[in-house]
Amino acid sequence: MIERKLSIAGILVLAAVILLAVSYGSVHIPLSNIISILSGHSEGLPETWKLILWRIRIPRTLAAALVGGVLATGGVATQGLFRNPLSEPYLLGISSGAALGATIAIVAAPSLLSGAGLGVIGTAAFLGAMIVTFTVFIAAGKGAFKLPSTLLLSGIAIAFLCQAVIWLLMTYNRDQVERITFWTLGSLSSAGWSKVLWLSAITIPSTIVLASMGRVIDVLSTGYDSAHGLGVRPQRSAAVILAFTALGTAAAVAVAGSIGFIGLMVPHAVRLLGGPSHRKLVIRSWFGGAILLVLADLAARTVNPPGEIPVGIVTALLGAPFLLILARRKKGEGRLDG
């Protein structure tokens, strides 16, 4: 009963925040007018409203939902697999790889503007994320899933390496520092329809695969040997789950930069609300992440109009206190990992 309610609530709240987000901005478009424009009855309404809605706010808001959703499901998958509540998808080297790819693109071809689809920077970020993640897996070696700490350590080491190269490139390209910094902080301002399509094509299948493997993640979260004894092939299942996590996260980061805290925070919040079973946690966290990022993006562009603050700053401002509260709560229960 509660479960059914939670899923319906997720859909309704997401729909509500999406309407809210397309309504507010530098120009306020009342809800009734949004509905008329969406249903094709826009006679007498300003042409600019239609333009703002269809060309800017709707794709941007949908992109926020898709990015937020996939980051949160990636968080669920990595936390469950690594049996570590502090895991998040970025630990696999995805965000540092994407940042390195983007930095190289910005430095090498500063005059190229984002074109159709992902654009040069987005494509470079996506490739960087995939290459670096692959390197992290290779560096961690064969037993990586048996001892997740080797995978996490290799992810952290390679992230530092990428960061060092980024700083080096920044040192020699002072004029691009601002662009690189803002890319890293994350933003959805460049999200148009082509990016929404691209995001859907990758993140929706990846989320479906992860959701369908929810119970396998449950089994894997009991530990490598236990999972084997319960009738899964831990190595193979973990590889599939991590590959789809990496793919989805890389797509999100390529479009929106490395927006922090969603992958870490949302799974914890959803687990507190609806329990730890991964079969439901994956989908619920998708909704949680989507709702949170749509709201965070709305805040990022309305706090100080017409200027924007990077959305990554908003999620970090929300995320840090949340984590502190979570840590205190857990301490009260005498454990940090529950």
Q: What is the CA radius of gyration of the chain?
A: 20
Determine phi and psi for 115, rounding to 5 degrees. Answer: -95, -145
Nearer to another protein, 194 or 221 (CB): 221
CA distance linking residue 24 with residue 198, whole number of Å:
25
CA angle 244, 248, 253 (to 5 degrees): 145
Contact between 193 and another protein by CB under 8 A: the answer reads: no
CA distance linking residue 270 with residue 277, whole number of Å:
11
Q: Which residue's entry shows tokens 């490395």?
A: 258
* Among 59, 68, 80, 101, interactor with another protein by CB under 8 A: 80
Nearer to another protein, 194 or 277 (CB): 277
Q: Binding residues for another protein, how many (CB under 8 A)? A: 31
CA distance linking residue 139 with residue 198, whole number of Å:
30
Binding positions for another protein, 273-332, rule CB under 8 A: 275-277
Contact between 42 and another protein by CB under 8 A: the answer reads: no
Looking at the chain, how many residues does it have? 338
Contact between 231 and another protein by CB under 8 A: the answer reads: yes
Contact between 192 and another protein by CB under 8 A: the answer reads: no
Burial of 61 (0-12, 13-18, 19+ CB in 10 A): buried
Contact between 338 and another protein by CB under 8 A: the answer reads: yes
Determine phi and psi for 188, rounding to 5 degrees. Answer: -110, 10
CA angle 16, 71, 307 (to 5 degrees): 65
State the minimum distance, in angstroms, from the CB of residue 1 to another protein: 15
CA distance linking residue 130 with residue 108, whole number of Å:
20
Nearer to another protein, 80 or 186 (CB): 80
* Among 34, 53, 159, 216, interactor with another protein by CB under 8 A: 216
Q: Cβ–Cβ contacts within 10 Å for residue 146, how many?
A: 15
In this chain, which stretch among 23-31, 149-157, 196-204, 206-214 interacts with another protein, using CB under 8 A? Answer: 206-214
Nearer to another protein, 49 or 82 (CB): 82
* Among 57, 60, 271, 284, interactor with another protein by CB under 8 A: 271
Binding positions for another protein, 85-144, rule CB under 8 A: 85
Token readout for 87 is: 């895991």
Nearer to another protein, 102 or 217 (CB): 217
Nearer to another protein, 217 or 293 (CB): 217
Q: Cβ–Cβ contacts within 10 Å for residue 265, how many?
A: 25
Contact between 233 and another protein by CB under 8 A: the answer reads: yes
Contact between 75 and another protein by CB under 8 A: the answer reads: no
In this chain, which stretch among 118-126, 223-231, 248-256, 298-306 interacts with another protein, using CB under 8 A? Answer: 223-231
Residues that bind another protein (CB under 8 A): 80, 83, 85, 212-216, 218-219, 221-226, 228-233, 271, 275-277, 333-335, 337-338
